[in-house]
Amino acid sequence: MQQLALFDLDNTLLPIDSDVSWAQFLVGLKVVDADWYSRRNDYFYAQYCAGTLDIYEFLDFQLAPLAQHPRDQLLAWREAFMGEMIRPAIHADARDLVQRHQDQGALCAIVTATNSFITGPIAQEFGVQHLIATEIEIGADGNFTGKPAGLPSFREGKITRVEQWLALQGLGLESFAQSAFYSDSFNDLPLLCRVTQPVAVNPDQRLRAHAQAQRWKILDLFSRTESTDD
């Protein structure tokens, strides 16, 4: 059977959070009010780390700037964002991790709660064809409305979105003899528990403790160390 390899993005394949970095980028452009936006961004990030994030409240905040500007302007900003903040942050070790699975013929996908507008070109940078991300509603004028479209790819929603994606190919998680999911966050525990090879990558404190207790592989990707509890 074919292998399945799923990768979280922020603080997993990237040593940064692309959501937070995008917010910082907009602050730098003075597109949003720096003090208010930075405080709100810090507020939501603390909730995310604590595992208490209301994803819809966060998306109302995070997607609002996309509704305030035409698509052409957003695309220009995104390309600058990729050049200034994302491409310099991509490590060779992260590229190599993805490439190893691709070389083995695995079906690969990035599975992230961050919206597809930000993460689409990042997935392309990693050479990953399939992206499962939070989608954004598009209005009749072709611009973003600032609202999510469909189920956000977050916590249990990642399982649903992965299953929907696989079903379109006539597959399910059970179709794979080996399925791996790489993530840094305790928020991703639902999907980590559904694959045959969960890997805690650069894990937060709670995920590291859980991974050690369950004897899951722990990969500190950006420090070039790998361990289990053995």
pTM: 0.94
Sheet of 179-183: strand order equals 144-149, 130-138, 107-115, 4-7, 179-183, 197-201, 217-220, 225-227
Q: Which amino acid is at 121?
A: P
Per-residue confidence in pLDDT tens, the chain, 230 aa: 589 999 999 999 999 999 989 989 999 999 988 898 888 988 998 898 888 999 999 999 999 999 999 999 999 999 999 999 999 999 999 999 999 999 999 999 999 999 999 999 999 999 999 999 999 999 999 999 999 999 999 999 999 999 999 999 999 999 999 999 999 999 999 999 999 999 999 999 999 999 999 999 999 998 754 555 44
Which of 10, 19, 184, 188 is labelled catalytic?
A: 10
**Are 147 and 136 contacting, i.e. CB atoms less than 8 angstroms apart?**
yes
**Are 40 and 12 contacting, i.e. CB atoms less than 8 angstroms apart?**
no
Q: Which two tokens mark 207?
A: 């995920």
Q: Which two tokens mark 161?
A: 């979105």
Which of 8, 17, 188, 204 is labelled catalytic?
A: 8
For the chain, domains (ranges, CATH) are: 4-227 (3.40.50.1000)
**Are 44 and 23 contacting, i.e. CB atoms less than 8 angstroms apart?**
no
**3-class SS at 16?**
coil
Instruction: Let me know how long the chain is.
Output: 230
Is residue 8 annotated as part of the catalytic site, yes or no? yes
Is residue 220 annotated as part of the catalytic site, yes or no? no
> Which secondary structure element, helix H or strand E, spans residue 225, and what is its range?
strand 225-227
